[in-house]
Amino acid sequence: MSAQQTPPVSSMAITLQIVSIVFYTFVAFLCIGLPIAVLPGYVHEQLGFSAIVAGLTIGSQYLATLLSRPMAGRMSDSIGTKRAIVYGLLGIVLSGVLTLLSTLLQSLPLLSLMILIGGRLLLGIAQGLIGVGTISWCMGQVGAEHTARSISWNGIASYGAIAIGAPLGVVMVGALGFTSLGIALSVLALAALLLIRNKPSVPVIRGERLPFWAVFGRIAPFGASLSLASIGYGTLTTFITLFYISRGWTGAAWCLTVFGICFILARLLFISSVNRFGGFSSAIACMSIETLGLGLLWLAPTTAVALIGAGLTGFGLSLVYPALGVEAIKQVPSTSRGAGLSAYAVFFDLALAIAGPLMGAVALNLGYSWIFFCAALLSITGLGLTLLLKRRAALSPL
């Protein structure tokens, strides 16, 4: 009997399996990060459109991700996680082509903007496919008991890629011009497609699947809290460049780098706290830290204080997604895991999609510093909702 038992898989082996899969998330978000610090300025200064249009251009990617989530979840559950990721990488290749074409047509501002938005929409759909596909693949590979670790490493890959990509994009544009962005996106995605070809996927789970909207209803309370907390991230990534310009400061991309570094460090150091203290308690603590960081950005008199605020925001937001995600995924069966992850991610996408136009309007009427004040208020609202969810779970445990 004992001879037939398989030895337990070590924690390091599990982590390595997860990292080998979320590598594709890293590639996807590197492609998202490269233009994120330079496109708002490109739309506002080179093409001559307003701050609201710049926000809408960035937000269009997140809106596309939001609207494509049901499709991404359905594809991941029905045709397999690997194929969903492959389709996502193909979308990034096309997005790079459109981005290149847009920058070549800069002398025709409206046409350039429309093509650029088309590329952002494709990038958003790709983000949805790859984000759901990688997490679902990880959970199928290492087991649902490692949900928090799978979500966390996927987040480390995404925010780490943005932390690298944002300043790298600034350097690339400064040295090679805006045309380098589209070329870089296509080349990176093509390289990832070559690497994924021979990687074995996990089998599709057979069984009855819940309709997406039924899954959505179960996930919604947790997702609403995530959305309120995540608007601060959308605000930071979309408007930090214009916020710095309004203050006469330079080095806005470093705010994104500090955010990403603190985000990753918090996940590496404290991911075990989700299992130790529970998803709700971890989320509550992190939202409090995030709110403090957004408040510092609102009041920042110098770039040093702004960097501290960005760091606290990243540190605080780090565990909100996996902490609430662990509680949310408990609400759906394993046959609808992809749909559950998609429904949960919808609320993160929603936060990023509305952050651009909403905070653009705030900036237009009150000034750029007030966008962080508004984001802090929304984070506090999310904190209150999470407290209510924790109380409800305590009164009616599963």
Reduced DSSP (H G I as helix, E B as strand, rest coil) percent helix, strand, coil of the chain, to 5: 85, 0, 15
Instruction: Note the pLDDT of residue 101.
Output: 93
3-class DSSP assignment, residue 10: coil
Can you tell me the mean pLDDT for 178-201?
Answer: 89
Read off the DSSP letter of residue 207: S
Instruction: Note the pLDDT of residue 100.
Output: 92
- Report pLDDT digits (tens) over 58-94: 778 878 887 888 888 778 777 778 888 999 999 999 9
In terms of phi and psi (left: phi > 0; alpha: psi -120 to 50; beta: otherwise), the region of 204 is beta
Cβ contact 316:291 at 8 Å = yes
Can you tell me the mean pLDDT for 362-380?
Answer: 90
Q: Which of 26-30, 159-163, 277-281, 313-317 has the lowest mean pLDDT?
A: 159-163
pLDDT band at 375 (very low <50, low <70, confident <90, very high): very high
Is the pLDDT reported for residue 27 higher than 90? Answer: yes
The pTM of this model reads 0.74
Domain segments of the chain as ranges: 11-201+210-395
Report the C-alpha gap between 261 and 268 in whole angstroms: 11
Instruction: Note the pLDDT of residue 30.
Output: 93
Residue corresponding to tokens 């998202």: 32
Instruction: Note the pLDDT of residue 125.
Output: 92
Instruction: Note the pLDDT of residue 3.
Output: 45
Instruction: Note the pLDDT of residue 395.
Output: 79
Q: Please state, rounded to an integer, the average pLDDT across all residues of the chain.
A: 85
Report the C-alpha gap between 40 and 173 in whole angstroms: 13
Q: Which of 88-97, 145-154, 231-240, 353-362 has the lowest mean pLDDT?
A: 145-154
Report the C-alpha gap between 374 and 298 in whole angstroms: 9
Q: What is the CATH number of domain 11-201+210-395?
A: 1.20.1250.20
Can you tell me the mean pLDDT for 131-155?
Answer: 80
Read off the DSSP letter of residue 335: G
CA 283 to chain CA centroid, nearest Å:
17
3-class DSSP assignment, residue 107: coil
Can you tell me the mean pLDDT for 311-326?
Answer: 90
Percentage, residues of the chain above pLDDT 90: 28
pLDDT band at 206 (very low <50, low <70, confident <90, very high): low
- Report pLDDT digits (tens) over 338-351: 778 888 888 887 88
Contacts for 40 with CB less than 8 Å, ≥ 6 apart: 51, 54, 55, 57, 58, 238, 239, 241, 242
User: 84: part of which helix (H) or strand (E)?
Assistant: helix 81-104
Is the pLDDT reported for residue 205 higher than 70? Answer: no
